[in-house]
Amino acid sequence: MAVLNKIRQRSLFLILIIALALFSFVLTDLFKNSDALFGGSQDVVATVNGKNINRIDFMSRVESMQRQLGPNATSTQAMNRVYDQEVRRAIMATQFEELGLSVEQDQMKDLLKQNFSAYPEFQNEAGLFDENKLTEFIANLKALNGERALLGNFQLSYNDWVNNENSIAIGAQERAYYNMVKAGVNATLNEAEVDFMLENSTRDIKYVQVPYTTINDSLVQVTKSDINAYIGDNKKKFEVEASRDVVFVEFKEAPSLKDEEDLKASFDKYINGKVEFDNGRNDTIKPFATVKASDLENYINFTAESDVAYTDAFVKKTGLPDVVADTLFNLNVGDVYGPYKDSDMMKLTKMVAVRQLPDSAKVRHILIPHMGATRAAPEVTQTEAQAKVTADSVLAIVRANRSKFSELVTALSSDVGSVANGGEYDFHPSTQMVKPFSDFEFQNNVGDIDVVQTQFGFHIIEILDQKGSSKAVKVATIAKKIEPSEETIDNIFTEASKFEIAIQDADFQAVAEERNLKVSPVNGIKVLDENIPGLGVQRPMVRWAFEEGTKVGDYKRFSVANGGYAVVQLVKKTKKGLMSPENASATVLNDIRKEKKAKMIREKITGTTVDEVAKNQNRPTSTAVELNMKTPTVSGAGSEPKVVGVVFGLAEGETSGLIDGNKGVFMVEVTKVNQATKLDNYQAIANRLSTTRVNAAQTKVYNALKETADIEDNRARFY
């Protein structure tokens, strides 16, 4: 009680102590993150030439990009795509502002018309673009308050529309900008003449070469200071980003031999049949061999719950699993084989039917696409039902008059790969086309014609010819993926945990070797990488490796996408800047040795003519004819641009000094100067040079602008 009274008497004092402690905690966090203290870039993904790319807007664009790229693209890929777009936009915006380039309202209307005139949503009854319909659509989109509406084959929100308009406007500005650039890069006639002379003027020479290989590498000492000096003289070449080196041990959730045997044993109910009791009712599983052909699909897909759906198709021997192709191909109808292992599957196969099929077929077709079909162009507006009606109409026409087939191919078919050939595909095997298409052309007769639906739309197919005939089989297969059991998964988790405990006070590599575990190194990981060789997408691992608190020697366990774990250790941190001498040595040793060898060779040479140097060094003299500046190759010596450059600075009969070439030290004598005969007109060459420059201008200009731009990249803070 006395203690409580004392606390009450000093309550103000205690409150002050607690307040100071909290304040200290906040200050510590602020000084750790100076951006928060000084109003830095907490919400800025990047800054380009002083312009901030806001995190919230950026993330919204990334979400939109993720939808466009589809489910197979990662969030990092979407982020990088948007980042490149935003950086480009910011860089070009600086140029537009300096030049006063803008898109006015009337021009914007014309641009929207150019981009959206083909959309039926913006057309009147006559099929012409209606600006009022466009205005109404935008107003309705805005009223949806962020919800999406359908336009063509995709959905978009009002923000998506605004972003799209901005992209269209920027595209127009970029075209205007690059058109001005391209107008200034055309080659002059004088430049064309110089180019002609470089290519057609030649020199004949006599030369002597003392190869660098005449001095053994062991006689040339390269020190760390030599490497440092070389790096200092070539800084741009050796600039590196911050990177991390790690090692990892993977614990895969792979099925054990017992898991395989257990799964194999479970196939007994399909071989011999079984009555299973489930919630008071009994389900009878018939033996696979007794199932009628008409019931196979239901039996495999639903009764057996096969991991691979039933395929009702004939295949040649090459279409069967390699491991049992011979056995399966020779089964009698009704026979059952298995269970057998095929890759990561356990399978049980029944022979359903045998027949002779053509080895190859020649067909022609007309493809009628519809909205949502694979590879359907944006201008396709027919629904699936409408496309079917069109296909049936075309079928009726060509059945009545097959001479119209080619005409209708040109008018209607969307298969660009065959339109030029009148819709025809020459002889091909059954594996070339998608299944419904292939089934029709190989299981019907020459002259047959009909409508076949595939993922690409509706095909009007005519079988023109068939070649050969060989055995084909139809098989039915129950397939179950071989997966690790709960017991196996628990064992793998335990093994990974034991390894983690063991490396707390021991060497990572040594512990792995004791347990016969493979240690995999991964070097040069960059801050925005997401793929780790051998592990796939591992963005959390990369973020951990670059966290300020992660030290060399630290380790951590990560889950692996396909099941299992990876225990990873950070073994090296490399700061942004110049490459270390150790890392650069493999690249620069040869160049430094060449410099030192050139100096050693020069010190041994006496003489001022090719013949004197050849005699002094006991080297042969060689000749080379018709050297030109465009292809600076010396016959007998290889690519030697420095040597050829010196040659073209000499007069006929003149001898050079010693030249340090790519493969040795040279001395050359010009024996003949062959000047090209001037042309009456160089316009054709000027046109060719202009075309080359114009085609390369856009990429080169943007790369130059990006290289000189002031870019602060903060992506690693958010992704």
Per-residue pLDDT tens over the stretch 634-672: 999 999 999 999 999 999 999 999 999 999 999 999 999
Q: How confident is the model over 470-492, as a mean pLDDT?
A: 95
Amino acid (one-letter) located at 208:
V
Give residue-wise pLDDT tens across range 53-78: 999 889 988 888 888 788 888 888 88
Residue 253 token pair: 């959730």
The one-character DSSP state at 323 is: G
Query: For residues 198 and 552, is the Cβ–Cβ distance under 8 A?
Result: no
- Cβ 283 vs Cβ 275: under 8 Å: yes
Phi-psi group of 57: left, alpha or beta (phi > 0 → left; psi -120 to 50 → alpha; rest → beta) = alpha
Dihedral sign computed on CA atoms, order 544, 546, 549, 555:
positive
Is 285:273 a contact under the CB 8 Å cutoff?
A: yes
User: What is the DSSP secondary structure assignment for residue 679, as one 8-state letter?
Assistant: P
**Architecture field, domain 243-254+484-575:** Roll (3.10)
List of residues 6+ apart from 440 with CB closer than 8 A: 448, 450, 452, 461, 463
Strands laid side by side in the 564-574 sheet: 520-526, 243-252, 564-574, 555-559
Residue pair 420/333 in contact by the 8 Å Cβ criterion: no
* CA 527 to chain CA centroid, nearest Å: 18
CA dihedral over 478, 482, 487, 489, signed as positive or negative:
negative
C-alpha distances (whole Å) from 167 to each of 172, 173, 377, 568 are: 9, 10, 21, 43
> What pLDDT sits at residue 277?
62
Residue closest to 429 by CA, chosen among 359, 524, 372, 529: 359
Report the candidate in 471, 447, 455, 436 with the shortest Cα–Cα distance to residue 362. 447
Measured CA angle at 78 (ends 75, 83), to 5 deg: 120
pLDDT at 118 over 90: no
Q: Look up the CATH number of domain 360-467.
A: 3.10.50.40
For helices 131-143 and 158-183, angle between their N-to-C axes, nearest 10 degrees = 130
Q: State the pLDDT confidence band at 279, using cuts at 50, 70 and 90.
A: low
Q: Is 326 helix (H, G, I), strand (E, B) or coil?
A: helix
Q: Does position 256 have pLDDT exceeding 50, yes or no? A: yes
Half-sphere exposure of 420 (CA within 13 A, CB side): 2
Tens digit of each residue's pLDDT (9 = 90 or more) over 160-174: 888 888 888 888 998
Residue 187 has a CB neighbour count (10 Å cut-off) of 20
CA 511 to chain centre: 37
Q: Find the mean pLDDT for residues 266-291.
A: 83
Are the C-beta atoms of 492 and 251 separated by less than 8 Å? yes
Which tokens belong to 256? 């054990």
Distance between terminal CA atoms of the chain? 55
Which residues fall within 8 angstroms of residue 166, CB to CB, at 6 or more apart? none
Nearest by Cα to 246 from 573, 511, 569: 569
Q: Answer for the pair 626, 674: CB distance below 8 angstroms, yes or no.
A: yes
d(C-alpha 368, C-alpha 186), whole Å: 46
| Cα-based distances in Å from 274 to 300, 335, 336, 536 | 15, 19, 17, 42
Q: What is the DSSP letter of 7?
A: H
CA-based nearest residue to 70, from 456, 457, 374? 374
Q: How many helices (H) and strands (E) does the chain have?
A: 25, 28
Bridge partners of 207? 622, 668
What residue has token string 């409580």?
A: 4
Q: How far is CA 448 from the centre of its chain?
A: 43
For 562-598, write each residue's pLDDT tens digit: 899 999 999 999 999 888 888 888 889 999 999 999 9
Residue 276 has pLDDT above 90, yes or no: no
What pLDDT was estimated at residue 282? 62
Task: Say whether pLDDT at 17 is over 60.
Answer: no
- The tokens describing 81, both together, are 């795509």
Mean pLDDT, residues 662-690: 95
Question: Of 528, 562, 533, 536, nearest to 77 (Cα)?
Answer: 528
pLDDT of 20 over the 70 cut:
no
Of 578, 581, 530, nearest to 558 by C-alpha is 530
Q: Are the C-beta atoms of residues 330 and 336 closer than 8 Å to each other? A: no
Q: Quick one: tokens of 457?
A: 């739309």
Does 94 score more than 80 pLDDT?
A: yes
Q: Under DSSP, is residue 397 helix (H, G, I), strand (E, B) or coil?
A: helix
